[in-house]
Amino acid sequence: MLSWYVDASFAVHPDMKGHTGGALTLGRGCPVLACTKQKLNTRSSTESELVGVDDMMPMILWVRLFMKAQGFKVVDNIVYQDNQSAILLERNGRASSSKRTRHIEIRYYFATDRIAKKDISVEWCSTSKMLADFMTKPLQGKVFTKLRDIIMGSELMMDT
């Protein structure tokens, strides 16, 4: 089972663009980490989360195909997020869109197609357990230490 943690920070750069962070864990440690500035301005944190998942999709799909090519059976490819609205939009596409989200470009619903094809599944993860926060927010103290230890593999990933 591949467990991806994807998070986005809304309008954190001087040009008001968001930031995407992602991490893959196979139970202990994180062999794949990603951290990137988003390429466009978004109007909400929910839209930033959609753009963040879209930014990570090539890597999420490639790792799944790579693991299969190596002979491993990929039972599930789970993307964990901490934004319920983004999860709803990813699962249902435009059907969940409202007056506040109709401006979102259709290309950011690519995840909806991949969910329908069972290439990925999207699950909710509480913000307190979001591993990708390490790449998107300035953490300090116990939270920083805990996430660093999980990423380095010296501590097991907690249940989501």
Mean pLDDT, the chain cut into blocks of 10 residues (160 residues total): 94 95 90 94 90 94 96 94 90 68 68 92 90 90 90 76
Give the per-residue pLDDT at 92.
83
Examine residue 129 and state whether it is found in any structural domain, yes or no: yes
Give the per-residue pLDDT at 93.
73
Examine residue 116 and state whether it is found in any structural domain, yes or no: yes
The parent domain of residue 110 ranges over 2-152
Cα maximum dimension of the chain: 46
Give the per-residue pLDDT at 106.
67
Examine residue 157 and state whether it is found in any structural domain, yes or no: no
Burial of 131 (0-12, 13-18, 19+ CB in 10 A): buried
Examine residue 31 and state whether it is found in any structural domain, yes or no: yes
Examine residue 160 and state whether it is found in any structural domain, yes or no: no
In the chain the beta strands, taken as DSSP E runs, fall at 2-9, 19-25, 32-37, 77-81, 121-124
On whether the pTM is more than 0.85, the answer is yes
